[in-house]
């Protein structure tokens, strides 16, 4: 669609056999790497054009920026200020700007509008931002993806494609990965946690008698905290449903597993909360009745409720 529009815009000119030498123009994503600090954060990524000479006679630009839709959501796409500086018309719009948000990429097209006669007498030079894309981070652990530029097309006033260099970018959301060495008798088991909150103590508490793991999870007020726990099956396992209690309430979770480990993923709201993860089988292979798990969960919730009431009455 955009390529067609650019072709139509250039159709008023008679194509020549002019070719461009080795590329000097650079199209790149800035910043090269963006590191988010929280879920739901919005941030800007600029696509810039660099090292442009007026003799390049750039009038049309098109590109795609690919991203991971599981990690990022496009909030806005806006024209950058660079091309509009070299207006050929006395009034706006100086640049024809169009974009589409597709399945896993944004496609953008820009065309420097000609003067009243249909020609250009002012051409871009220098470097600057041509497009700003605003993203929002989505709730996924281990978030990182490339911001990949491709299908880049630069057109000059003769309708000739201009070669250029391309530099893509990268997005990441850091999570703290902790290794918990849990000892039971002569055996040592490794449990790992990955979260945008704070997990403590390290190692977490393991209760073999009642078959659960316990730790505290802390985050900033108003923030959603995500946590992934990887548990060796030889330490704690459930052939059916797991029971995860956070702050005295049972929470939903997603599960994946391999031959040796179970990976549990859940989320909660901020503040400090105790997390209990109950399995049905515990080292050494000892089945835990579901009824007992339910009793433990109810007791935990009741204890937390009583503590809350006591604190409230004291206040």
Domain ranges of the chain: 2-173, 176-314
Mean pLDDT of 284-307: 53
Distance between CA atoms of residues 236 and 213, nearest Å = 8
Mean pLDDT of 74-97: 97
Pairing outcome for strands 212-218 and 95-101: unpaired
DSSP category for residue 304: H
Nearby residues of 57 by Cβ (< 8 Å), 6 or more positions away: 120, 123, 156, 157, 158
User: How many CB atoms are located within 10 Å of the residue 112 CB?
Assistant: 25
pLDDT above 60 (res 102): yes
Tokens of 258: 């391999």
Name all contacts of 103-106 with Cβ < 8 Å and 24+ positions apart.
Answer: 103/69, 104/66, 104/67, 104/68, 104/69, 105/64, 105/65, 105/66, 105/67, 106/64, 106/65, 106/67, 106/74, 106/77, 106/133
Distance between CA atoms of residues 216 and 60, nearest Å = 55
pTM over 0.75: no
Q: What is the pLDDT of residue 157?
A: 94
Mean pLDDT of 195-199: 86
Which residues of 157-186 form beta strands (DSSP E)?
A: 165-167, 169-173, 176-184
pLDDT above 80 (res 234): yes
Task: Return the minimum-mean-pLDDT range out of 4-8, 137-141, 264-268.
Answer: 4-8
pLDDT above 60 (res 291): no
Q: Which fold has domain 2-173?
A: Immunoglobulin-like (2.60.40)
Instruction: Give the H or E element holding residue 47.
Output: strand 42-52
Pairing outcome for strands 169-173 and 33-35: parallel
pLDDT above 90 (res 16): no
Residues β-bridged to residue 275: 215, 246
Q: What is the pLDDT of residue 6?
A: 47
Task: Return the minimum-mean-pLDDT range out of 148-162, 175-189, 216-230.
Answer: 216-230
pLDDT above 50 (res 4): no
Tokens of 139: 């709730």
């Amino acid at each position: 669609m955009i390529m067609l529009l650019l072709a139509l815009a250039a159709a008023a000119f008679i194509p020549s056999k002019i070719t461009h030498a080795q590329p000097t123009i650079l199209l790149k994503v800035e910043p090269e790497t963006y590191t988010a600090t929280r879920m739901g954060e919005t941030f800007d990524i600029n696509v810039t054009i660099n090292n442009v000479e007026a003799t390049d006679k750039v009038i049309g630009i098109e590109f795609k920026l690919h991203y991971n839709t599981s990690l990022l959501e496009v909030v806005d796409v806006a024209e950058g200020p660079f091309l509009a500086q070299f207006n050929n018309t006395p009034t706006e719009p100086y640049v024809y700007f169009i974009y589409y948000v597709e399945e896993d990429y944004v496609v953008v097209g820009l065309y420097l509008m000609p003067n009243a006669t249909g020609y250009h007498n002012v051409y871009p030079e220098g470097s600057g931002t041509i497009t700003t894309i605003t993203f929002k981070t989505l709730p996924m652990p281990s978030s990182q993806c490339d911001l990949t530029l491709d299908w880049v097309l630069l057109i000059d006033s003769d309708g000739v494609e201009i070669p250029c260099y391309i530099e893509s970018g990268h997005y990441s959301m850091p999570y703290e990965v902790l290794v918990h060495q849990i000892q039971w008798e002569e055996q040592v088991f490794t449990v790992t946690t990955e979260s945008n909150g704070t997990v403590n103590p390290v190692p977490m508490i393991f209760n073999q008698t009642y078959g659960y793991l316990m730790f505290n999870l802390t985050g900033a007020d108003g923030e959603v905290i995500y946590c992934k726990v990887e548990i060796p099956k030889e330490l704690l396992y459930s052939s059916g449903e797991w029971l995860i209690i956070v702050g005295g309430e049972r929470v939903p979770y997603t599960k994946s597993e391999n031959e040796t480990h179970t990976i549990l993923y859940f989320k909660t709201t901020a503040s400090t909360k105790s997390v209990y993860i109950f399995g049905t089988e515990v080292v050494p292979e000892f089945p835990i009745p579901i009824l007992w798990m339910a009793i433990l969960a109810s007791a935990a919730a009741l204890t937390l409720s009583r503590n809350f009431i006591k604190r409230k009455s004291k206040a």
